[in-house]
Amino acid sequence: MVWVAAPEAVLPLTILPRHDAETPAEELRHRIDEARETVRRRQAVRDLYSRINERVRVLTSDAAPSDARRHQHHALAERYLAAVLSHAPDALIAVAFDGEVVSWNEAASHLFGRSWDEIAGQSFADLFALDDRLRALSVLNRVALGESVQGQELRIASAEDRVLTLEISAGPVLGGGRAIEGISLTARNVTERKQSEEHQQLLINELNHRVKNTLTTVRSIASQTLRNAETTDEARHALEERLFALSRAHNVLTQQRWEGANLSDIVDQALAPYRHSGRSRLHASGADVRLPPATALAVAMLLHELSTNAVRYGALSNETGEVRITWGLLQTSEGQYLHLTWTEAGGPPVRVPTRRGFGTRLIECSLAQDLGGEVKLEFEPPGLVCTISALVRNA
């Protein structure tokens, strides 16, 4: 403790004035007033030095607690930072200059599927798939040279044997003298985002491909319809119906994001214009079959042509005829084959046509090629029979 002493020596030592009988009363009163002023000033000086000493005491006594508070604040800040790092949603990894993992948080344990005890002391590059380990080492080398790395994608195998894509960002840890002592990294699982981007690009490519194919199909339908129609009205009606059939098939595929379509949905859409109230003359049954987009469009157009032919010449051209559609899957060494049969009965007697119209050529040639299989038309007297065989899934 430091004390400041009051300068007592500069003050008068005698407070009360000396008095004898010859001293006039007026002079005596003057001396008494001077003595009182001296006492007042002396007390004021003492009060001043008392305040100074009190201030010194406060300052010197608060120094140690102030340092303690600073240490407490620093320790509290470190605990807060540790909690933030521990509960951060991204994986946070500390790597030594030689590539050894020296620390990571709970998110990293969850992401890599390993506890800290399992990973402590291992190489950072060994966390990743074999094909990506060189790129992981490249990240460490770049940071060791003072570069920051952002958005590097590396793959790992998860505990569920899934391949995950991680987005890695890394930067140097600087020590005294600004020397690089280690590497800090963050890792974020971007697998779903990558899959979404790839799926979106696939859909765009598929859409472009389908648009081109659709325009080619429309051009072929229009050309063949106009070439074989006997009148303009007939051509217009046939063209509209075929384009409507194509549109209905597209609607089914659009609902399924062009990933394919259920055969039962394609059949329902193709037969919908010909279903009427009362007794149904159209019967459809079969297994649950998923068709790829190209096969779904081809089957839809084929069913439309068969339905149109049945309405004009076959079983649906009178009041008693019926159509039965059945299908199933056959497993072979090459894969799964779809077998679909269209059978008409109860209509006018069937005769083999002398001229192959556009509908017949579309079924036997173009649609058979689109299906990558076989389409067979049999003009039996009881009614037309059409059989389809197409590969829908490779072995």
Domain boundaries, the chain: 12-84, 88-189, 194-394
Q: Please state at what angle helix 232-255 crosses helix 191-228, rounded to 10 degrees.
A: 170
- Give CA–CA dist 347/385, Å, rounded: 12
The span from the first CA to the last CA of the chain, in angstroms, equals: 94
CB 4 within 8 A of CB 59: no
For the segment 5-35, what is each residue's pLDDT rounded down to a tens digit?
444 444 444 444 454 555 566 776 777 777 6
- Single-letter amino acid, residue 296: A
Q: Residue 182's beta-bridge partner residues? A: 96, 173
3-state helix, strand, coil in the chain (%, to 5): 55, 25, 25
Supply the pTM of this predicted model: 0.45
Residue 100: other Cβ atoms inside 10 A: 14
Residues of the chain with pLDDT under 50: 1-17, 19, 63, 277-278
**DSSP letter (8 states) at residue 158:** -
State how beta strands 180-189 and 91-96 pair.
Answer: antiparallel
What is the reported pLDDT for 11? 40
Residue 305's nearest CA partner among 261, 266, 354, 358 is: 358
Instruction: Give start and end residues of each alpha helix (H) in 189-231.
Output: 191-228
- Give CA–CA dist 149/125, Å, rounded: 15
What is the reported pLDDT for 3? 42
What is the reported pLDDT for 45? 56
Q: What are the tokens at 341?
A: 């049969």
Residue 66 to residues 56, 57, 190, 378, Cα–Cα distance (Å): 15, 14, 48, 102
For the segment 229-263, what is each residue's pLDDT rounded down to a tens digit?
678 887 787 778 777 777 777 777 676 666 778 89
Residue 9 to residues 5, 6, 14, 300, 383, Cα–Cα distance (Å): 11, 9, 12, 121, 140
What is the reported pLDDT for 16? 46
CB 310 within 8 A of CB 384: yes
Residue 143's nearest CA partner among 182, 105, 177 is: 182
Asked if domains 88-189 and 194-394 share a fold, the reply is: no
What is the reported pLDDT for 325? 95
What is the reported pLDDT for 175? 81
Distance of CA 106 to the CA centre of its chain: 22
What is the reported pLDDT for 1? 43
- Give CA–CA dist 41/31, Å, rounded: 15
CATH topology of domain 88-189: Beta-Lactamase (3.30.450)
Domain 194-394 CATH class label: alpha beta
CB 293 within 8 A of CB 266: no
